[in-house]
Amino acid sequence: MNDGPLIVQSDKTLLLEIDHERAADCRKAIAPFAELERSPEHVHTYRLTPLGLWNARAAGHDAEQVVDALLSYSRYAVPHALLVDVAETMARYGRLRLEKHPMHGLVLSSNDRPVLEEVLRAKKIAGMLGERLDDDSVAVHPSERGNLKQALLKLGWPAEDFAGYVDGEAHAIALDEDGWELRTYQREAAESFWHGGSGVVVLPCGAGKTIVGAAAMAQAQATTLILVTNTVSARQWKDELIKRTSLTADEIGEYSGSVKEVRPVTIATYQVLTTRRKGVYTHLELLDARDWGLIVYDEVHLLPAPIFRMTANLQARRRIGLTATLVREDGREGEVFSLIGPKRYDAPWKDIEAQGWIAPADCVEVRVTLPEGQRLAYATAEPEERYRLASCTHKKIDVVRQLVEQHSTQPTLVIGQYIDQLDELAAMLDAPVIKGETPVKERQRLFEAFRSGEISLLVVSKVANFSIDLPSAEVAIQVSGSFGSRQEEAQRLGRLLRPKAEGKTAHFYTIVSRDTVDAEFAQNRQRFLAEQGYAYRIIDSDDLEADPAS
């Protein structure tokens, strides 16, 4: 036994004691290959997975480095079987290679013929391949490059992609660092992406992912397609690029439901690209035909299925995915990795907070009890109706009024899932409401009024979950959510994490009906934030006035 900060367990979990003097060095050593699962106050949990180990190989790390890191920092003897498994898992990567061929375009080759024979007999792969060229290689239809990588990953034989990238159409883009400069982690993230070719950057909400995207564009010096979640986000990207780079407004096009501009830098919404008419994705095909040098995927964890298909066809282009969390409730994180590229950079939320770049947050769950009549209605309701009944109880409206009064001097967001509940709250609070049917211009006007301080209270639906920059928000009150969605919880807290004046703490309230599915879903949603180190305090609605933080 030595005095290391790491405990390596036979179930492939790694426990890192963060108060240990060697913890920071250890984290740097294991970050390339171990997936961070939880980072609460004292011990962070990482896990070794095949995907994480293969991503490490894709980023240039070998099994010897992984084993050395585990042995160097482990407090106890590392299970021998785990070390063998690490070596054998990483050895599966690269036995198959995708390469350019002067005559056949793209080929799948192998230095291990039995592996090639095994995958050639997989039914899902047969249609992606052309003629057998020799014992060790087979032609690949160029359009199937991404699909083949995805399928091979699922078979447990990930291919190393040597086919490279086309440069795309050149276009001059430079960062305009007048009065500001890239933060260290933003520069490291952009450089990690560029050296790797393609991949995913994971940074907390409020940490400046747009700036990382702009830095990647300055590296690529090429026409760029940026995919975003909604029109408001598209316009925020455009404003930020004009402010932070040499690009002018005329060089940046918007491709959304209301505007169809294709320019050297084009910002398109996922929604318009996934619009299908008579079975054809016309907008997708139009943009797919352009000679882009770089594709930027904002909120990459949200990729809809048709965009997965588009991305499978864009393997010859450099791709960067930006997200605060790779959590997907459908478990398709592996597809994000196989089509965009491995995770190139990740920074724990609390690390960025400690550096002062995002605000500290006080997370409070306020529990209410359903009145007797509502409890009976809840108990006898159909299962699919219970969440709405528990979420929309009038007891929550009383708590919202109380919290808004207690934070009357602070910019506050009231966030929910059910439109009728939000309309009622907006009427009771005499506050504007933003929901799906709110026109884009009106959304922009209200968001800008909130940012400028003209209004200090805004009621919003889930349209404000993603890519909406509201740096002035100090308080968020959540009355209902998308069932048990962890990434929604992360995004909603993210509305508050922009740094505050004088180092103020942000306040994130979730109002929950006890003894109902509302409480069960709340526990699941909060799990991700607890894993990031955000501890929830629980108070009863009757004790709210006595809570010192409010």
Please report, to the nearest 10 degrees, the dihedral formed by the alpha carbons of residues 213, 192, 78, 160 taken in order: 100
Q: Which pLDDT does position 108 carry in this prediction?
A: 95
Q: Which of 37, 31, 464, 431 is nearest to 230 (CA)?
A: 464
Phi, psi of 528 (to 5 degrees): -60, -45
Q: Distance between CA 366 and CA 364 in Å, rounded?
A: 6
Convert the pLDDT of each residue in 71-96 to its tens digit.
Answer: 999 999 999 999 999 999 999 998 99
Q: Distance between CA 149 and CA 94 in Å, rounded?
A: 12
Q: Which pLDDT does position 197 carry in this prediction?
A: 81
> Which of the four pLDDT bands, split at 50, 70 and 90, describes residue 332?
low
DSSP 466-494: SS---TT--EEEE---STT-HHHHHHHHH
47: exposed, middle or buried (Cβ count in 10 Å: 0-12, 13-18, 19+): middle
pLDDT at 489 over 70: no
Tell me which CATH code domain 359-546 carries. Answer: 3.40.50.300
Convert the pLDDT of each residue in 371-383 to its tens digit.
Answer: 998 999 999 999 8
CATH architecture of 184-353: 3-Layer(aba) Sandwich (3.40)
pLDDT at 462 over 90: no
Convert the pLDDT of each residue in 1-55 to its tens digit.
Answer: 678 999 999 999 999 998 999 998 998 899 889 988 777 778 989 999 998 899 8
State pTM to two decimals: 0.77
pLDDT at 329 over 80: no
pLDDT at 550 over 90: no
Q: Which of 192, 163, 162, 173 is nearest to 59 (CA)?
A: 192
State the alpha helices, DSSP H only, in 165-266: 184-196, 209-220, 231-244
Q: How many other C-beta atoms lie within 10 A of the C-beta of residue 186? A: 24
Question: In this structure, what token pair is assigned to residue 366?
Answer: 């306020």
Convert the pLDDT of each residue in 185-241 to its tens digit.
Answer: 999 999 989 987 888 998 888 888 999 999 999 999 999 999 998 888 899 999 999
pLDDT at 487 over 70: no
Buried b (16+ CB within 10 A) or exposed e, 61-94: bebeebbebbeebbbeebbeebbebbeebbebbb
> Which of the four pLDDT bands, split at 50, 70 and 90, describes residue 549?
low
Q: Which pLDDT does position 257 carry in this prediction?
A: 85
Spans of all domains in the chain: 6-91, 96-161, 184-353, 359-546
